[in-house]
Amino acid sequence: MLKLKRIAIDTHRESIAYLSRACPHYRVDEFQALGKIEVHAAGGTCILATINIVDDAALLAPDELGLSEEAFRVFGLPPESRVRIAHPKPVESLDALRGKIEGHELDDAEYTAVIRDIAASRYSKMEVAAFLVGCAGFMTVEEVLRLTRAMANVGQRLDWGDRLVVDKHCIGGIPGNRTSMIVVPLVMAHGLTIPKTSSRAITSPAGTADTMEVLARVDISTDEMRAIVDRIGGCLIWGGRVNLSPADDVMITVERPLGIDTREQMVASILSKKLTAGSRHLVLDIPVGPSAKVRSQNDAVRLRKLFEYVGGKIGLSLDIRLTDGSQPIGRGIGPVLEARDVMAVLRNEPMAPADLRERALLLAGALIEADEAVKGGQGIHRARALLESGAGLQAMERVIEAQGSNLGPDGIIPAASRKCHEVAAQHSGLVNGIDCLRIARVARMAGAPAFKDAGVDLLKKIGDPVRQGEPLYRIHAGLDADLGFAAELAMQDNGFTINGMSGHGV
């Protein structure tokens, strides 16, 4: 038996075990060749982990087995627990994976087997990537449905009884589009139940959970989430803690860095999460624009039909809105800057971003119309009344208090970083276009979301006049080095088109 040791290394959703080369109990080379091991403890607790061999006695003693932060969290036992290791059992679903790579159609049982093994960390990241690439190459509509059901059936599922549970989701790709943080309190103020789980950023400057964390704690357990929703009717939390569609969390960490984001995988990912969260009615925002995830109306219509087909088959009512994705929403891009915009809207401040407010009201109104007492077309008026009366702000304050406030005294939002650089227009004219991907990349290079006070503050939007030398946006960076990297990226191409001329070489 070996003593368990927690190794403070973040391996990001991958379970890693560390074994000393000087271990007296096991022949290390035998396990190293396998690549993976099973870790067993008394009572039947077991995890599968990738094995790394350690030569530094200061890091790991010969009689210890180290586990990375992720593996330690999954294993759930305290340090110095006694464990043993064993050869891993063959992963039978790899036959289905090979079939998918070869272009075969998989059935329900095969998708369930693959997803169960991914959720149990039996697949390496290389094998997960192979599955994703195989699915990207060929999937029928029925396979999308099978994948969605398989992802929903592995992991826990929330049940809210007879309550009408609603949710809102955006497919992403548009910087600053933090409508969820306005929609949720408005829907709560109306009286509907909305337990909103959101993601953290992987390749973007901020996810909803990153931005909400500026205001309140988002790392909430399932039991605490239930208590909060039962008490106030909603929440805004990080979905990674509540184990909804866990295979999806693993696949996202692989597919996004690889740039794999097919419509089939998108539909299965989103709808499986909503089904396991107990939602019955979903409003889905699909932004359409030249640098959005969906570039044309024809592509948007095809995606909408796929969502509607799968959603109907799994019993989820969908209201899909195709919205303007031609430019970032609001002014701030990055957690602190986005939180500033959200609270400005909820507080009815005169300078609050009008586009963020109106987009949020449109989506909140659509959700409110899930209430049979609200006539069609009246939802947006109800949402506006709740916003203007301050009821939405009061609901957000209840969420912040229930989850645990991260705000300063008197509810003050932290300031953006003082490490700044302004990106100026190369020539005068009207702003014709803004490249969402480029602006997001600049904000990410500046340090967002790792530094919550980093990002980009837009000073001009499409249709605004600008003079040569006038600032288009301000970069806020976490470190001096980050500021230099982001400024250099903006110098190559600032992401703005003025009078039909792009900002290359500014």
> Residues with Cβ < 8 Å from 149, sequence gap 6 or more?
108, 111, 272, 314
Q: Which amino acid is at 147?
A: L
Could you give the CA distance from residue 317 to residue 362 in angstroms, rounded to a whole number? 18
- Selection from 36, 40, 166 nearest residue 88 by Cα: 36
Alpha carbon 404 to its chain centroid, in Å, reads 21
Choose among 407, 421, 416, 400: nearest CA to 452: 416
Spatial separation of the C-alpha atoms in residues 396 and 37, rounded to whole Å: 46
What stretch of H or E contains 393?
A: helix 391-403
At 50, which helix (H) or strand (E)?
strand 46-54
167 is catalytic: no
| Residue 161 zone, left/alpha/beta (φ > 0; ψ -120 to 50; rest) | left
Alpha carbons within 13 angstroms on the beta-carbon side of residue 422 total 9
Amino acid at 125: K
Contacts of 162 (CB under 8 A, 6+ apart): none
Active-site choice (261, 355, 435, 482): 261
Residues 6+ apart with CB under 8 A from 247: 115, 116, 118, 119, 150, 151, 154, 155
Respond yes or no on whether the N-terminal peptide bond of residue 449 is cis (omega within 30° of 0): yes
Helix (H, G, I), strand (E, B) or coil at 278: coil
* Nearest by Cα to 225 from 214, 210, 209, 211: 209
Q: Is 154 helix (H, G, I), strand (E, B) or coil?
A: coil
Catalytic site positions: 261
